[in-house]
Each structure stands twice: as C-alpha cells, then as structure tokens.
Amino acid sequence: MTSSSAPATRALPMIGTGNLPRLLRTMLPALSLALVLVGIAWLNPRAISYFGFTLMLNLAVPIALATIAQMFVIAGNDLDLSIGSFVGFVGCVTATWLRDAPLLGIVTLLGCIALYAALGALIHLRNLPSIVVTLGMSFVWQGLAILMLPKPGGKAPDWLLEMMRVKPPLVPFPIVAAVVIAAVAYVGLMRTSYGAILRGSGGNAVAIGRAGWSLLKAKMTLFACAGLFGVLSGLALIGTTTSADANIGNGYTMLSIAGVILGGGEFIGGRVSPIGAVIGALTLALAASPLLTFMRIPPDWQVAANGAILIVVLAARVLISRKDAQP
C-alpha cells in the first residue's frame, strides 16, 4: 500500500503546478480588464454604474467588431492593415447611400464583403504577403471614402440610431453587445467543425491540405468573415457617432491588432481567442480614454500610455510562457 499511495500523493501537486502558468496565461486578458476597472473605480467610483459604463464603453462595440475582423485574418496567419480605412469607408457608405438609397448601400456593403473574400483568394493563389496587399487596399479604401465624403457629414439611418440607443435593463448595451459578439465568434470559430479547419489553415496548412480541405476556400472564408465584421464595425461606429468622416476609422487598425494580441492571440500558428479578443477590445476602450482621463494624463500622452499597457501585458505573457516551458 505504501508503494501505491506515494505516487498518488506526488501526482496532485504536479498537476496543479503544471496547469498554473497555462491558467494564468488564459486569464491574463481578464486580469488586465479587471485591473483597468479597479483603477477606474479607485479614481472615480461614480463611473462604475449603468450610466458610467454606457458612457465609457460608448465606442467599445465598433472596436470589438473590428478586433474580431482582425482576429479572423490573424487566424489564417495573415495581417490586415486596411481594416481601419475599410471601417471608415463603410461609415461613409452608411451615412450617405445606406440612408438616401438603401438598396445601393446594401449592394455596396455586400460587394465589400465579396471583395474581401477576393483579396483572400488573391493572397493565396499568388502567394502574396498579406501585409503588402492590405496596405495597398488601405489607400484604396481611404481614397474611396474621401471621394464619397470629402468633408465630415452625412447622417446615420434612423433604424441604426435606434438600434445603437437600446437600453436593456440592468446591463448596459455595450456589455450585452460585447457578450453577443464574443459568443457568436467563439461558437463559429471554436465550436464548429469548419471552424477547426479555418484555424488549422493557419496553424498547419500542409496537414489541412493533405486531408483534402481546400486552403483557397478557407482563406476566402476567413477574409469574408473579416469583411463582414468590418462592415458591422462601420455600421456600429456611425450608429454611435451619428455622422461620418473619411478618417473616422484610421485608428482602428492598430487597435484591432492590439486587441487580438492583448486577448491572447499570436501572429504565428493561427492561435486566436474570440473571447479574449473582445476582452482585449474592452480593455483598450476603457484604457484609451476613461482611465487615462481620470489619471489626468494629457491627450498627447494617452497613445503612449496605451502602448505601455500593451507592452506590460505582453511582457507578463512572455514571463508566464517561459515558466510554463521550464521542466
């Protein structure tokens, strides 16, 4: 009995010790969000309320949607440098054609999604770097937005304004929307059989191809999903701001990349986390303005402060990963 009980007692601490770094790595996005919330509560306790969260997370929904769009591209081992200007172009279409000529606006937005899928096909078939292709497309989207709306203006459709002004009981709308976005992306990418194929196309494309699955179709699907969520981001942004500007989404490219990485995603291997990406987007939305404003940090330094937050979180992730790799 002595020989059988000794290994059992030694196995318990080994299991807990081995899982602790992985658990910390998984919980790091949530811990980052919790620390930001604690800082806001300490600096301004009145902000932790229904009305306070509604104001602070006013732009969190379009940021979260843009982050999910970027996540689909990163899942395929690519990077989209045009998502910000694309969101701006969608905003211009929403505030003009979608309001004044709804059919033309709908056809244009559907065409944008199809064009995103075509970009995925081009990148795969010609083996082009996604960074170069999407960087070029960022100028295309920007130019089209300026041609459509040379100066800020337009107006969001009434139905979109009403949708973004919904006030559910108990929980603010941005939080409800974030939960829905995370759930849809999680189920679609992490809990379906074809979602596994999409992730596998970024993690091990050779194995997916040998199994008989079309890598071209997977790439087109990932980019089409990115285009879909990019369109939703543009709609949500205009529904929140009520009017459009050709440059309104320029900052969303870096925010979307930072949100995916902050949420546990990696550039190599197609490793992404839909729930973590949304949490990362919420963290950036809160840290981008409310927290730094309460800390009385000048606006010129707020971008640098956001970068510092991202660096600290990534450094903590690297430290945890090194401890996990140690025998």
Reported as a single tens digit per residue, the pLDDT across 291-316 is 566 566 666 666 666 677 777 777 77
For 269, phi then psi, to 5°, come to 95, 0
Q: Which fold has domain 30-325?
A: ABC transporter involved in vitamin B12 uptake, BtuC (1.10.3470)
Tracing tokens 């843009």 back to the chain, one arrives at 66
Is 270 within 8 Å of 37 (Cβ atoms)? Answer: no
Distance set, CA 82 to CA 31, 67, 135, 182 (Å): 30, 12, 6, 22
In the chain, the percentage of residues whose pLDDT exceeds 90 is 59
The pLDDT of residue 86: 97
Domain residue spans in the chain? 30-325
Dist CA 211 CA 214 (whole Å): 9
Mean pLDDT of 128-147: 95
- Give residue-wise pLDDT tens across range 1-36: 444 444 444 444 444 455 666 676 677 788 888 888
d(CA 264, CA 31): 12
Is residue 60 within 8 A of residue 281, CB to CB? The reply is yes
Q: What pLDDT does residue 93 have?
A: 96
Instruction: Give the Cα separation of 289 and 278 in Å (integer).
Output: 17
Question: Which residue has better confidence, 199 or 288?
Answer: 199
Q: How many CB atoms lie within 10 A of CB 153?
A: 12
Both tokens of 238, joined, read 């205009």
What letter represents residue 3's amino acid?
Answer: S
pLDDT at site 13: 42
What SS3 state is found at 127? coil
Contact 145, 85 (CB under 8 A): yes
CA–CA distance, 87 with 100 (Å, rounded to integer): 19
Beta strands in 7-142, from DSSP E residues, in sequence order: none
Rg of the Cα trace of the chain? 21
**Average pLDDT value over all residues in the chain:** 86
